[in-house]
Structure 1
Amino acid sequence: MLNRVQGIVLRSMDYGEGNKIITLYTRELGKVGVMARGAKKVKSRLGAVTQLFTNGDYVFFRQGQQLASLNSGEIIEPHHKLREDLYKSAYASYLVEMVDRMLGEEDRSLFLFDQLEAGLLAIEQDKDMQIVAHVFELKMLALAGYTPILDRCASCERTDELSAFSVSLGGAACINCRRQDHYAAPVADSTLRLMRLLQQVDLRRIGNVNVKDSTKAQLKHSMRLYMDAHVGIKWKARSFLDQMDKYDL
């Protein structure tokens, strides 16, 4: 069957002497693996459309459970800047890695496709990359059924004196209930307010934000704890970001 889709390249790897296998996240079919024959060759018409982060229109043939074969592609957004800048590339890689590793074959969400498309564009447009990544983490957590409770204590449901973020309780914890979790991360009220805001943000409408370093540090720590506990994946892109921060690359 011939398929025409809009897709974003999540992963691209060499196969054999001249071919590539790419993983697309598509609006129409969800996540799909596609063989691009001859894409590694210098003059291949498929070379550009199979590069990581590329957003394009793709035509591929698939029969039964066999790997699809790419016929043609037309670029909508090449995202050159995401591949040319080390930090942008790392953050963009984290976004596509989340989609690639948290979704099964042909898991489909139009909303998630729009958020991924907008998230990559926001990184390219110099929006705060850490904030974009946290918004996308929250979208992925919601899709997986692990939305953290942020507007009240996740244990007793009181809405005042929230002072920690607890993985085991499932979100914000008040000054009393935080004692139930010795590993709860202390957070300021401003951090919880920011997390609530980011939970509601549509990446298609995200603007420039100015967040204090201390708030971003608390946010990063809390999101790390929650992602690691509920998703449990060792992220390659996130590890690379940590290495860059460590050596100030």
Structure 2
Amino acid sequence: MDERFEGIILFKRDYREKDALVKIFTKEFGAKMFFIKNFNQANHPLRRHCIPITQQYFLGKINESGLSFLKEGQTLQLFRSIQEDHEKLAYATYFIQLVDAALEDNVANLNVYTILSQCLSLLNQGLDSQVLMVCLEMKLLPYLGIHLNWQSCALTGRQDGPFDFSLKFQGILSQAVWEQDDFRLHISPKTIHVAIILANCQLEQIQSINLGQKTKEELSRLMDTIYQEFVGLRLKGKSYLKQLKQLDEQVQAISNVRKRSNESGPVIDF
């Protein structure tokens, strides 16, 4: 029997000469792989509904295991701003890779589906991509089997800061017991305060959060360290984001040199 369902397109890849496999994170059935016959024909009716990082309604046959099949599609959200912006698209690609890695296929998860849908919508609206990335990484940790204490000091139970983060005790650590972990991450108390807010807030609440670049960089270092030590994922999307950041820094450095040169006057060669 055919089912109607909603889904976010994770990726599409060619299969044989004319066909395609499309992986969709469905709201009702979890992440599933769909086979589409003759997909590479220019006039195939499903081509415009299987663009990665879009949200669609579908009619199709759902199988509990193996490949499922699509019959009809209806566009729900194209996320045009993401599709037209190289940097936003890079972040969105990492978002869907991370969700795909965090969840088992064929298992429905309405909470994560809603979180991913919200993240893409907020990114499309222009919210800070780094903050959204940190927030998504935090909220996916429990689905990766990592349960960290963001509510109170892991040793004393105190809820008043200042705090740092301890890998050893898997949570925030109040200043009174910092000496208990010589390898605490030395994240600034301000950044840890922001991390606590992000870990415990709803995604729609972060629209009012405006952070400086130093705080965002510390948040990224915090989450990179947590994922490196506890999760061990090596996703291409995250590596690409780091390459983009390095390129931006190089371009900014060149721009600063040129600006200083212009301010000091023209250079005359003889």
Post-superposition Cα deviations, 1:188-232, rounded to whole Å, max 9, x if no partner, equal 222122111111222244414310222112111111111222221
Given the alignment of the two structures, is residue 243 of structure 1 paired with residue 240 of structure 2, yes or no? no
Q: Give distance in 1, aligned partners of 2:205 and 2:161.
A: 31
Q: 1:190 to 1:25 in 2, by over 3 A?
A: same
Match of 1:65 in 2: 65
Match of 1:141 in 2: 141
List runs of 5+ in structure 1 lacking aligned partners.
none
Rg bigger for which structure?
2
Post-superposition Cα deviations, 1:136-192, rounded to whole Å, max 9, x if no partner, equal 111111334423212322234344554421222112123354444444211222212
Q: CA deviation at 1:84?
A: 2.3
Q: Give distance in 2, aligned partners of 1:114 and 1:141.
A: 16
User: Structure 2 length normalisation: TM-score?
Assistant: 0.84
Match of 2:197 in 1: 197
Match of 2:232 in 1: 232
Q: CA deviation at 1:104?
A: 0.5
Q: Give distance in 2, aligned partners of 1:205 and 1:164.
A: 24
Q: Give distance in 1, aligned partners of 2:205 and 2:38.
A: 39
Q: 1:233 to 1:134 in 2, by over 3 A?
A: same
Match of 2:220 in 1: 220
Could you say which structure has the higher helix fraction? 2
Q: Give distance in 2, aligned partners of 1:124 and 1:101.
A: 22
Contact 2:13 2:22 in 1 (8 A): yes
For the residue of structure 1 that corresponds to 2:233, the secondary structure is: coil
Aligned-pair identity (%): 24
Q: CA deviation at 1:22?
A: 1.3
Matches within 5 A, 1:1-249: 1-63=1-63, 65-160=65-160, 162-175=162-175, 177-248=177-248
Kindly tell me the number of residue pairs found equivalent between the two proteins: 249
RMSD: 2.0
For the residue of structure 2 that corresponds to 1:185, the secondary structure is: coil
Q: CA deviation at 1:110?
A: 1.3
User: Structure 1 length normalisation: TM-score?
Assistant: 0.91
Please tell me the residue identity of whatever aligns with 2:215.
T
Post-superposition Cα deviations, 1:107-149, rounded to whole Å, max 9, x if no partner, equal 2221211111111011111100111111111111133442321
Contact 1:127 1:208 in 2 (8 A): no
- With 55-64 and 153-162 compared, the bigger mean Cα shift is at 153-162
Q: Give distance in 2, aligned partners of 1:155 and 1:147.
A: 15
- With 148-157 and 227-236 compared, the bigger mean Cα shift is at 148-157
